[in-house]
Amino acid sequence: MLDAALQPVPRKSRSILPGFGLTMGYSLAYMSLLVLLPLAALALTAAKLSLPEFWDVLTHPRTLAAYRLSIGGALIAALLNTIFGVIIAWVLTRYTFPGRRIVDALVDIPFALPTAVAGIALTAVYAPTGWLGKPLASLGIQAAYNSTGIIIAMMLVSLPFVVRTLQPVLEEFDPELEEAADTLGAGRISIFFRVVLPALTPAILTGFALAFAKSIGEYGSIIFISSNMPGKTEIAPLLIMKRLEAFNYPAAAAIAVGLLAVSFILLLIINLLQAWTRRSASL
Amino acid sequence: MLQPSRHLALLLLTLLAVVISACAPDRPTTKKATLLNVSYDPTRALYRELHAAFADHWRATHNQSLEINQSHGGSGKQARSVIDGLEADIVSLALAPDINVLHTKANLLPADWQSRLPHNSAPYTSTIVLVVRDGNPKSIHDWDDLTRPDIKVITPDPKTSGGARWNYLAAWGYALRAFDNNADRARTFLAALYANVPILDTGARSAANTFVRRGMGDVLIAWENEAHVILEEFGSTKFEIITPSLSILAEPPVAVVDTVVDRRGTRDIAEAFLHYLYTPAAQEIIAKHHFRPRDSDIAAHHAADFPSIPLLTIEDFGDWDRVHKEHFADDALFDQIMTARR
């Protein structure tokens, strides 16, 4: 998905590059071992349920509440990260300032941070007794142990996906296009919205999709900053853990399959949207 | 390059060595033995010391060096790891059902595992106490104080934390006693208590973290040994332990995993280790780590550390199967209470 966004669509149907069979074989084998086989095992486990049982698990009020929270939270986190990720990527590629490389390196920290560490650190800051949580609480804003805290954790772990997707595209973006628009009399705001933004849209959508996918599956950091209340602040991955804890493997797998299906549909829509924007941009 | 004759000599020497070693099976073995003890979170320091003490004991009595490795995590998760193939010679978990599943789900040990060692295979016990902030500002003295509307209670989710099931059962047992076994009123009591829980952490350690470091809540429901660890770590000037009028005897059991020790040939050492846990030397270490010893002499010696309070046992509630069905199964009492909160 990432590569597709960054490279021009090949016009040719047959490649002149040798080694297609070999590399394709390795790719398929690798993908099967890492992705497809575990997914198949998941589907098989869920298939131990009959269809009505499967449906009952998915439509249980608690499952629905967990889906709403996980999907809704991930959408909000991805949206906010997309807005601020664009700004961060813009700052990092367009300006030189002291410490730029340090800021650039900081963006990757959430990739490397063990999620439990991220959760404990976030809670230390945002809990009502924390450095930021305390002043916020005096303003009547609670930033931990509720859905706000969950979204903050999702934003932390998924930020690098947006920034790192946008950066190369912004670096490649030809400043002459902006200069041309400028000489043709376009204002600065209209240059950004009518020249720069359309060129960035496919990458923005990719970044959004990656951030959404990462947020929806996040578990380790969220359980520390969430109050984990059933039906309220219980994310879908935690509900899956609870079903596992009760040795209810089929129900756990069913909830996971449902979550994957929704995520897959949303990612598919984003991909289609991306193809559409790329087509309309090249017209 | 070796000459053919030297090849032959080497081969003969090797054969000779093999024959000699095969002819002397009762020679004291000096090969280092290893065991893996898969345990739950709060026993890390306890077992580090017990393993070292037993390794010394084993070296002295059997002239064999021994290394016991330990793995810690949530009790239920550890049980699943063993079922999924973690080669545990020994399991020492928070509650019997977590070892029982090794029999029911994977047949790794026999059904009667719990009667193979004294005291329900639990060489040490603990109980559930209340930890409050210094000076007990909300004057919390017993379980019924936890249902007051001005109290915030920190306790982990019994669905994800095996240890927290003891917390829940202690409160349930208190309520049954207080209301003459009226289950409806006990249920209302428990609902009021859990309505005061603002955060359901997934494990005992993260609940302690929420209470101690994040400053959330007025009271933490904790295992007695964990409560002492909190006081040791943060100083008794910040927290106090409140012993309720009634609590529960938490029995964390131990067992040898038969299929693993038979395959690895470690049954003798593993069984010897579990028996060693009942000896005065081990019981003294157990008391030092704030678990209640089974040995009455050692217990008497440490009587000041372990206040004597009436303790319910799991038998007072039937057995674990029944307790699980009534309280912790999906949509059972705990889920009903939490859903009704909305």
Residue type at position B324? H
Residue type at position B318? G
Candidate from A128, A242, A247 with C-beta closest to B160? A242
Q: Taking 80 as the threshold, does the pLDDT of residue A67 lie above it?
A: yes
Using pLDDT thresholds of 50, 70 and 90, give the confidence band for residue B234: confident
Contact residues, chain A, for B335 at CB < 8 Å: 62, 230
Buried b vs exposed e over A7-46: b needs ≥16 C-beta within 10 Å?
Answer: eeeeeeeeeeeeeeeeeeeeeeeeeeeeeeeeeeebeebb
- Interchain pair A62, B339: CB under 8 A: yes
More confident residue, B73 or A85: A85
Contact residues, chain A, for B157 at CB < 8 Å: 228, 242
Q: CA B46, B48, B51, B57 torsion: positive or negative?
A: negative
Q: What is the pLDDT of residue B239?
A: 95
Q: What is the pLDDT of residue A177?
A: 86
Q: CA B135, B137, B139, B144 torsion: positive or negative?
A: negative
Q: Taking 60 as the threshold, does the pLDDT of residue B320 lie above it?
A: yes
ipTM entry: 0.78
DSSP letter for each residue of chain A: -HHHHHSPPP--SS---S-HHHHHHHHHHHHIIIIIHHHHHHHHHHTTS-HHHHHHHHHSHHHHHHHHHHHHHHHHHHHHHHHHHHHHHHHHHH---TTHHHHHHHHTHHHHS-HHHHHHHHHHHHSTTSTTHHHHHHTT---SSSHHHHHHHHHHHHHHHHHHHHHHHHHHS-HHHHHHHHHTT--HHHHIIIIIHHHHHHHHHHHHHHHHHHHHH--TTHHHHS---TTTT--HHHHHHHHHHTT-HHHHHHHHHHHHHHHHHHHHHHHHHHHHHHHHHH-
The mean pLDDT of A199-211, rounded to a whole number, is 93
Asked whether the beta carbons of B218 and B151 are under 8 A apart, the reply is yes
Rounded CA-CA distance B17/B101 in Å is 45
- Interchain pair B159, A246: CB under 8 A: yes
Residue type at position A250? P
Which residues have C-beta within 8 Å of that of residue B227, sequence separation ≥ 6? B129, B131, B220, B241, B290
Candidate from A128, A230, A247 with C-beta closest to B338? A230
Rounded CA-CA distance B331/B229 in Å is 34
- Interchain pair B198, A145: CB under 8 A: yes
Least trusted range by pLDDT, from A19-23, A74-78, A82-86: A19-23
Residue A82 Cα distances to A174, A196, A209, angstroms: 22, 15, 10
Candidate from A124, A130, A227 with C-beta closest to B199? A227
Q: What is the pLDDT of residue B114?
A: 96
Residue whose tokens read 């664009």: A86
> Chains A, B: CB contacts under 8 A, how many?
66
C-beta neighbour count of A188 within 10 angstroms: 10
For residue B112, the 8-state DSSP code is T
Q: What are B156-181's pLDDT values in tens digits?
A: 999 988 889 999 999 999 999 999 99
Candidate from B76, B198, B209 with C-beta closest to A227? B198
Residue whose tokens read 């969430």: A226
Question: For helices A61-94 and A236-245, what crossing angle results, to 10°?
Answer: 130
Closest residue in A to B329 (Cα–Cα): A246
Residues of B at the A interface, defined by Cβ within 8 angstroms: 76-77, 80, 101, 105, 157, 159-160, 198-202, 206, 209-210, 213-216, 328-330, 335, 338-339, 341-342
The mean pLDDT of B274-297, rounded to a whole number, is 96
**Nearest chain B Cα distance for residue A150, angstroms:** 13
Q: Taking 80 as the threshold, does the pLDDT of residue B189 lie above it?
A: yes
**Nearest chain B Cα distance for residue A245, angstroms:** 6
For residue B143, the 8-state DSSP code is G
Q: What is the pLDDT of residue B22?
A: 52
Q: Taking 50 as the threshold, does the pLDDT of residue A283 lie above it?
A: yes
Rounded CA-CA distance B41/B163 in Å is 10
Q: What is the pLDDT of residue B51?
A: 97
Using pLDDT thresholds of 50, 70 and 90, give the confidence band for residue A11: low
Mean pLDDT of the residues in chain B: 91
Rounded CA-CA distance A239/A88 in Å is 34
Q: What are B192-228's pLDDT values in tens digits?
A: 999 999 999 998 888 999 999 999 999 999 999 999 9
Q: What is the pLDDT of residue A104?
A: 93
Mean pLDDT of the residues in chain A: 90
Going by C-alpha positions, the residue among B152, B154, B285 that lies closest to residue B225 is: B285
- Interchain pair A127, B202: CB under 8 A: no
More confident residue, A2 or A255: A255
HSE toward the beta carbon, residue A203, CA cutoff 13 A = 25
**Nearest chain B Cα distance for residue A244, angstroms:** 9
Q: What are B303-318's pLDDT values in tens digits?
A: 999 999 999 999 999 9
Which helix (H) or strand (E) covers residue B276, if one does?
helix B267-276
Q: pTM for the full model?
A: 0.83
Going by C-alpha positions, the residue among B221, B275, B276, B272 that lies closest to residue B250 is: B221
Contact residues, chain B, for A244 at CB < 8 Å: 80
The mean pLDDT of B115-127, rounded to a whole number, is 96
Q: What are B23-75's pLDDT values in tens digits?
A: 554 444 568 899 999 999 889 999 999 999 999 999 999 999 999 999 998 89
Q: What is the pLDDT of residue A194?
A: 87
Which residues have C-beta within 8 Å of that of residue B39, sequence separation ≥ 6? B47, B70, B71, B72, B78, B91, B92, B93
**φ, ψ of residue B289 in degrees (nearest 5):** -90, 15
Q: What are A110-155's pLDDT values in tens digits?
A: 988 999 899 999 999 999 989 999 999 999 999 999 999 999 999 9
Q: Taking 60 as the threshold, does the pLDDT of residue A199 lie above it?
A: yes
Contact residues, chain A, for B199 at CB < 8 Å: 145, 227-228
* SS3 at position B124: strand
